[in-house]
Amino acid sequence: MSTLDHSHDRGSDVATMGTDEVGHTHADVSGGWLRAATFGAMDGLVTNVALVAGIGAAGVDAKVVLTAGAAGLVAGACSMALGEYASVSTQNEAIDQEVSVESREIRENPKGEMAELAHMFEGMGMTAKTAAGAAREVHRNHDQAVRVHISHELGLDPTEKPSPMTAAVWSFLMFSVGAAIPLIPYLLGFSSLFAGLAVGGVGLFAAGAIASLFSGTRWWYAATRQLFYGALAAGVTYLVGSLLGLSVAP
């Protein structure tokens, strides 16, 4: 068999290879449930660790800390969920608008849009002849042409938009979980501010380590970084709480 025949066989193998034969998968980085869950958990932890630090530093009763923490959990979870829903919905609407604009441009100026796509293909390393041929192939199907243009011009796939409801639900649930962690000692009857902050710190460290499994970051670096962020927020609110506690002291 000639070299050309071998090359043709390899090309056919690639063309017919199924997605289950590629040998690797990718994490969800499109802004769906994973991003919402990660940010929700992190925000819940940081918010209530800082809240417990600030309220506790003011010298109030443990029941007040627990009440404030529970209120912060509910308010924060609702805010995060609504914010995620609005954010993802707005992003999807913006994508739909761009798809509409691109679709109209391709219908009204097909040659110009085809030339634009060929130019982008050349920028990826194709020869002018190959790029022009590829652009013609893509433009044989209007919907496919729109998708490819949007993908190359905006870096987005209009067929893989994240669900606003999914993002909202995961954000609500994971914020609640994260915000509940520093309240555990108070729920168990302890009144020590140190216990609440210590449990919150463990939660921050663990959350950072778990997030590293999806991001590929070294676990100890991600965990330490998240703990530092939480400690920074807690330190600021502790200082504010201490000052407020002194100012209202009899």
Q: What is the pLDDT of residues 36-94, one digit of tens each?
A: 888 899 999 999 999 999 999 988 899 999 999 999 999 999 999 999 999 999 999 99
Instruction: Examine residue 167 and state whether it is found in any structural domain, yes or no.
Output: yes
Instruction: Examine residue 18 and state whether it is found in any structural domain, yes or no.
Output: no
Over range 200-218, report the average pLDDT.
89
Over range 145-158, report the average pLDDT.
88
pLDDT at residue 215, rounded to an integer: 76
Instruction: Examine residue 2 and state whether it is found in any structural domain, yes or no.
Output: no
pLDDT at residue 2, rounded to an integer: 43
Instruction: Examine residue 19 and state whether it is found in any structural domain, yes or no.
Output: no
Instruction: Examine residue 23 and state whether it is found in any structural domain, yes or no.
Output: no
Whether this model's pTM surpasses 0.85: no
Number of domains in the chain: 1
Instruction: Examine residue 202 and state whether it is found in any structural domain, yes or no.
Output: yes
pLDDT at residue 50, rounded to an integer: 95
Instruction: Examine residue 14 and state whether it is found in any structural domain, yes or no.
Output: no
pLDDT at residue 46, rounded to an integer: 95
* C-alpha span between 73 and 9 (Å, rounded): 59
Cα atoms in the 13 Å half-sphere on the side-chain side of 102: 25
